Structure 1
Amino acid sequence: MSSNFTTKLSLRSLRLQATGACRPLTAAQRRRFFFNSFSRSPKPAEHADWSPATHGPFRPTKAQEQLQEQLRQPQEQEHLVHDASNIGQLDGHPAKSIAISIDGDPKVFDAVFLRDSCTCPRCMDPDSKNKLFQTCDIPEDLEGSCKTVVDEEKGLSVELEWKTDVKGYGPDHRTRHSVDWLRRAFNTEVGIRSSVRHDDRVFWDKNKIEKNNKWLDYDAYMSQDETLFDALTHLNRYGLLFIRNVPESEESVVSLASRIGTLKDTFYGRTWDVRSKPKAENIAYTPDYLGLHMDLLYTSNPPHLQFLHSLRSRTPGGESFFSDSFAAAHQLQRQSPSHFRTLCTFPVTYHYHHPNFHYHFTRPVIDLFPYPKYSEPTNLAIRRINWSPPFQAPFEARIGSSNSTALRSFVAASHAYEKLLSAEENLHEYRLNEGECVIFDNRRVLHARRAFDATKGERWLKGAYVDDDVFFSKLRVLQEKFEGSWVADGVVRHAVR
């Protein structure tokens, strides 16, 4: 018998309840699976697309449809089952591909995937959840066969037995996967391959953010997971959030950031002070006007969230304002696809070059998700924006030395983009009062500050950063807790056993 045969598992008619330890199906149940799989009545919805012009003057009878279905199924499943003796068997011949019936349809899984995903205590440490073997340990000629069981913890499941298993695993080793988990695995793969992203982000202008902006109380944010989930969900959608009634302490910003996770420690320190001082190493530490920008674009992984807690706000001026760079990018694409394409491709260098620190990184202004469908920059799958004029270095590529017009094209595109970013209708302006903290997405929402008179009072903000991994980790934990699902790579994954 060839090793390329596929095991077909039909779960369509299973209506068992878990009664303790998992148990195999009876012979009668196995026979019922086989006959129910191949002799079902057509559903009313199957007539929905019938028309005399397309299908002839007579609607087929149920008996005729059943016959057509029986004739059609072997053709549809030819790539799943290669031998008549293997059709419908729950304990079929070992195979490299295994077809499992999910919601009435056969879904094909590579035996390597099913083996690699094993979560038994011999394959995954129950406490750390770390794998105890390597994917490269799986033999290339791995084959598996399966049967249906009802697991007391996972419910309806598939139990797999392996031929030529990983070295060190004996013939008694079994792998179990719940049908719910297999459904999610299949749907996740389809979602990733489809290149259609789940995206909750809301693009805003001045009117929309002033209508939908969110203010939360410090104590509720610090003590209630529901409030924290509300905060992170809003940050993920709008990129901007305000906290009021923050205690007057230099450690308050640490508490706010630590509520999400570990702070990002940079050469500025774990926290840092935004206040005017002589011979400042950063323009933010002066009273001068500071234009729209993002922080630390000269590093390989700039921070995701930025926290600014106002401890002193006693000077004239110094108002903060914010702009949604994603919304402006969408506007730019509608106005000039060529400018948008230029900002997706032209390399801009950022740096922080001082006696004790030398950071240097090059990236385009608009960074798209790296999926095949998004290789064309007019498809607006924006991952993040990189815009920080105060920290730009001299250009290093396409500087015109080879009669290239790329630099001139970039200047024109960046000029058009900056006009949108700084347009009055796109700016949200607010002067932080003492005891207030703003949190914003540093990879999306640009921030700026008007000049202030440092001789007439004190302006002091305490700042901190949180990385993207930390933010999305906490968001997924809370999504799974409150919504029973979580999002990664633009695909929703439902919580399963």
Structure 2
Amino acid sequence: MIGQLLARQIQRYASSSSSRRITARLQEQRYVEVTRPDGQQHKYPSIWLRDNCQCSECFHAATRARKSHWERGPLHVRAERVRFDEKRQQLIVNWEDAHNSSYDLDWLQQRDFSVEARQRYLNEVYKPPAQLWGKSQFGDVTHHFEYHDVLKQDAVLLDWLQALAVQGFALLHGAPHDEQVVRHLAERIGYIKRTTYGDVFDVKSKPNAGNYAYLMTPLPLHTDMPYYEYKAGINILHTLAQSESPGGANLMTDGFYVANTMRRDYPDYYELLRSVPVNWFDIGHDGDAGKPFHSLWRAPVISLDADGQFARINQNTTKRDSRFTVPLEQALAWYEAYDKFLQVAQAEAVEFKTRPGDVFVFNNLRMLHGRTAYEDSPQNKRHLVGAYVDWDIIYSKLRTLKFPDAKD
């Protein structure tokens, strides 16, 4: 009787102790399942675990690089045994080829395959989700920064880049009367993007203008350089001198908001704008001494990324080629969709006028921007200085600011 009672107590203790432990087990040789004391489960493909073995034979820690020992991959290497080491807080996997792997619990949790974990990584590390906005929300989404704070304070730089990533634009104030302001801002982020118009360019009326923006006429809503496969990420525009005429005001529309409106309210038109490739081109030279160029890229007005999110808006009436290399009937339908897109974009456009010392910065993959007509005088000539930076560089800087101690 005493022996039976003792046996039951030992069994209950063992069961209670086991319930407080992390366990691991193989599922059909395809997955490894890790179960936490609270019942939460994390499942990992066996092939993924072998592909990401963290031992020194498989992983070069100094360069954070996988060492490849397979000609075709680890597809047929099976796990024989798995267990969780409570003391080291590691998952241990013994493979059929006598290789052994260990994975820290924290490392595994950061790479969990659950919907929530994957979305958290995409939003917090990959790219902050865009906040779409229409004309009525413009005041609420506008962020203002002091130029010198952005240059000197990493916390302000982070906030500025976050605003560019989320709302798509920001306004800086207090910049000096210096044509190198845009270069300083670009280099504060990382690297300037050089184009056929140079690395730093002037936006002002010019004789023998090589670009429509260098005229005093109205500049319709557009994105810069849709004719580039690797289109500039952000546009930095510093106002050195503003027109004293009633014109010269900035126009801007959130292109992603317009695309979303088209998808919701005009799905047939949206599908045409998402799928029909348009020829965008730029032929000429920049100034009398500039080298000739002939840029050409085919892409739809609305481009999506691998996750089906809005990635790039291509729209520039002045740079849309007369060659339209699509079937005849598709061209007719596309024009109807394009007309509706422009109608929505113009209805949602905001207007504001920068002053000398202001720097207007916006996402060139997303924001449609333009300008009202203006008139120069001998005493007053509107003059902006611009530069570009690619989003690869911006996102990299944003992550180093957000995660300065990141190991992998």
1:444 maps to 2:366: yes
Q: In the comparison of the two structures, how many residue pairs are matched?
A: 381
- Report Cα offsets for 1:207-256 as digits up to 9, x if no partner: 31123311101121112221112112211221110111112222211111
Q: Does 1:461 align with 2:391?
A: no
Shift of 1:140: 4.1
* Residues 379-410 of structure 1: CA deviation (Å, up to 9, x unaligned): xx42322111111112433352xxx2x22211
Q: Deviation string for 1:337-361 (max 9, x for gaps)?
A: 2222221122211011237211111
Residue 158 (structure 1) aligned with residue 87 (structure 2): no
Give the whole-Å Cα distance in 1 for the aligned partners of 2:345 and 2:145: 27
Equivalent residue for 2:275? 345
Q: State the distance in 1 between where 2:75 and 2:311 align.
A: 37
The amino acid of 2:394's aligned partner reads: F
Amino acid at match of 1:442: N
Cα distance, 1:366 vs. partner? 1.3
Query: Residue in 2 aligned with 1:386?
Result: 314
CA distance in structure 2 between the aligned counterparts of 1:108 and 1:395, rounded to whole angstroms: 52
The correspondence of residues 53-64 of structure 1 with structure 2, limited to 5 A, is: none
Preserved contact between residue 180 and residue 496 of structure 1 (Cα < 8 Å): no
Deviation at residue 475 of structure 1 after TM alignment? 2.1
Q: Could you say which residue in structure 1 is the equivalent of 2:33?
A: 99
Q: 1:32 to 1:312 in 2, by over 3 A?
A: farther
- Determine if the alignment matches structure 1 residue 475 to structure 2 residue 398: yes
Which string of whole-angstrom CA distances, capped at 9 and with x for unpartnered residues, describes residues 25-54 of structure 1?
Answer: xxx9xx948973599xxxxxxxxxxxxxxx
Please give the alpha-carbon distance, in whole angstroms, between the structure 2 residues aligned to 1:265 and 1:308: 15
In the other structure, the counterpart of 1:216 is: 145
CA RMSD of aligned residues (A): 3.2
What is the alpha-carbon distance in structure 2 between the residues aligned to residue 440 and residue 358 of structure 1?
A: 26
Q: Secondary structure at 1:340's aligned position in 2? A: helix
Instruction: Map residues 319-468 of structure 1 onto 2, 5 A cutoff.
Output: 319-354=249-284, 356-371=292-307, 374=308, 381-400=309-328, 404=329, 406-423=330-347, 426-456=348-378, 457-468=380-391
Q: Residue 189 of structure 2 aligns with which residue? A: 260
SS at match of 2:89: strand
1:130 aligns with 2:77: no
Q: Which structure 1 segments of 5+ residues have no match?
A: 1-27, 40-76, 83-94, 166-170, 375-380, 485-494
TM-superposed CA distance for 1:131, in Å, is 2.7
- How big is the shift at 1:364? 0.9
Deviation at 1:201, TM superposition (A): 2.0
* Superposition deviation, residue 289 in structure 1: 1.5
8 A Cα contact 2:250 2:351, kept in partner: yes
User: SS where residue 403 of structure 2 aligns?
Assistant: helix
Structure 1 residue 134 displacement after superposition: 5.1
Return 464-473 or 175-184, whichever deviates more: 175-184
Indicate the SS of the match to 1:228: helix
Q: TM-score normalized by structure 1? A: 0.69
Between the aligned partners of 2:31 and 2:251, the Cα distance in structure 1 is 57
> Which residue number corresponds to residue 200 of structure 2?
271
Instruction: Give how far 1:312 is off.
Output: 1.9
2:244 equivalent to 1:304? no
- 5+ residue gaps, structure 2, are 1-9, 286-291
Q: 3-state DSSP class of the match of 1:455?
A: coil
Give the C-alpha shift of residue 189 in structure 1: 6.8
CA distance in structure 1 between the aligned counterparts of 2:402 and 2:60, rounded to whole angstroms: 25
Q: Is the 8 A contact 1:112 1:138 kept in 2?
A: no
Residue type matched to 2:47 in 1? V
Q: Residues 299 and 164 (structure 1 numbering): CA distance in 2 closer, same or farther, change over 3 Å?
A: same
- CA deviation map 1:439-461 (0-9, x unaligned): 10001111101122123422221
Q: Cα gap change, 1:205/1:190 in structure 2, threshold over 3 Å: closer, same or farther?
A: closer
Does residue 1:248 correspond to 2:177, yes or no?
A: yes
Task: For residue 149 of structure 1, report the CA deviation from its aligned partner.
Answer: 3.3
What is the distance in 2 between the residues matched to 1:135 and 1:354?
50
Task: Kindly indicate whether residue 57 of structure 2 is the aligned counterpart of residue 116 of structure 1.
Answer: no
- 1:188 to 1:445, Cα distance in 2 relative to 1, 3 A: farther
Structure 2: distance between partners of 1:35 and 1:149? 15
Q: Distance in 1 between matches of 2:72 and 2:92?
A: 21
Distance 2:39 2:109 in 1: 12
Asked whether the 8 Å contact 1:96–1:142 carries over to 2, the reply is: no
- Counterpart contact for 1:304–1:442, Cα < 8 Å: yes
State whether residues 26 and 82 of structure 2, in contact with CA within 8 Å, keep that contact through their aligned partners in structure 1: no
Query: Is contact 2:249-2:351 (8 Å) kept?
Result: yes
In structure 2, give the amino acid aligned to 1:319: A
CA distance in 2, matches of 1:296, 1:204: 23
% identical equivalent positions: 26
Question: 1:300 and 1:134 mapped to 2: Cα distance?
Answer: 35
CA shift in 2, pair 1:108/1:214, >3 Å: closer
Q: Which has the larger radius of gyration?
A: 1
How far the C-alpha of 1:469 sits from its partner, in A, is 1.0
